[in-house]
Amino acid sequence: MNVTVDRTPPTVATVRGNRTVDEDTAVAFDGTNSTDGVGVANYSWVFGDGATATGETVSHAFADPGTYTVTLTATDVAGNANATNLTVTVEDVPENTGGGGFRPLPDTTDPTADAGRDRTVTTGTAFSFDGTNSTDDVEITAYLWDVDGDGATELTGPEPTYRFQNSGTYDVTLTVSDRNGNTDSDDVAVVVEPADGTGSDGGSDGESDDDGSGPGDGDGSDESDTDGGTEVDADDGASEDGTDDSETGGGADDGSPGFGVAVALVGVVLGTAVVRRSAR
């Protein structure tokens, strides 16, 4: 009986030759073109970074940049083995925001807050703030409004509605943030006016006409003398200076027979009541 001993090692085929790949990117290795007179029984792979694998086809991702020697060893059923090497150059992946093997760069860019134009409103009137012109390179995820300047958030959202109950000027702060916690703030001034207007009648008690005439003035004239007293025209058209023919008391009778005194308050001169007699 003749026994043939196989002492011929397999012929190992390299896998696409040397190559350059990106870090953290899976690379396929194929040893199926290796041959042997009897048949290859085992394929063993050593990747040079501490990792190993077995099989005709395998894949591996290199975690760090560098140059690695990958070794494939093919063994037949008789234990004959042969090995071949190839070089894999692993490059550092540029940190970017894209995919396809790129590692996303952490977002450190602040958004830009825009609280809108300054406003003038009236008390009790609802109006909307406008933060819609705020921008971010990725996405704004929160709009926080501090209405009264206390550092706390009273409103949220890009266009919240609010009513001021008290008049005054308010500095309202909008703070926006993105998903990575980057923030920015912007202020808007809101002037709040009373809903019934701010005009004044100068202290008028409502008894004066538009022409400035005083009570008891039949023709609307109103003249002021230099000592601050007001001269009031009487019913006969004569002008009184506040002293002649006037009574400073309660209008007592002067004792003239056939005459009484009818007292009419026609004005006030420096705190003294000016009265006018008229015959009955």
**Are both 101 and 3 inside the same structural domain?**
yes
Q: Report yes or no on 253 lying in a domain.
A: yes
Name the pTM for this structure.
0.38
**Are both 96 and 124 inside the same structural domain?**
no
Q: What is the residue-wise DSSP string for 220-233?
A: ---EE-TTS-EE-B
Q: Report yes or no on 69 lying in a domain.
A: yes
**Are both 54 and 136 inside the same structural domain?**
no
- Residue 167 maps to which CATH number? 2.60.40.10
Q: Report yes or no on 112 lying in a domain.
A: no
On the CB side of 189, CA atoms within 13 Å amount to: 5
**Are both 235 and 188 inside the same structural domain?**
no
Q: Report yes or no on 114 lying in a domain.
A: no
| Residue 101: partners with Cβ closer than 8 Å, 6 or more residues away | 22, 24, 25, 93
Domain count of the fold of the chain: 3
> How far is the C-alpha of 82 from the C-alpha of 41, rounded, in Å?
12
pLDDT value at residue 32: 81
Q: Report yes or no on 201 lying in a domain.
A: no
Domain holding 45, by residue range, is: 1-105
pLDDT value at residue 62: 93
pLDDT value at residue 122: 97
**Are both 125 and 100 inside the same structural domain?**
no
**Are both 177 and 227 inside the same structural domain?**
no
pLDDT value at residue 221: 39
105, 138, 160 - which closes a domain:
105
pLDDT value at residue 81: 86
pLDDT value at residue 5: 58
Instruction: Return per-residue pLDDT of the chain as tens, 280 residues.
Output: 665 556 676 666 655 678 888 888 888 888 888 888 778 888 899 999 999 999 888 889 999 999 999 999 988 888 888 888 889 999 987 665 455 555 556 788 999 999 999 999 999 999 999 999 999 988 898 999 999 999 999 999 999 999 999 999 999 999 999 988 899 999 999 999 999 865 433 333 333 333 433 434 444 434 434 343 333 333 444 444 444 444 444 444 444 444 444 444 444 444 444 445 544 4
**Are both 7 and 31 inside the same structural domain?**
yes
**Are both 21 and 82 inside the same structural domain?**
yes
CA-nearest of 161, 96, 155, 80 to 127 is: 161
**Are both 54 and 78 inside the same structural domain?**
yes
105, 134, 166 - which closes a domain:
105
**Are both 76 and 140 inside the same structural domain?**
no
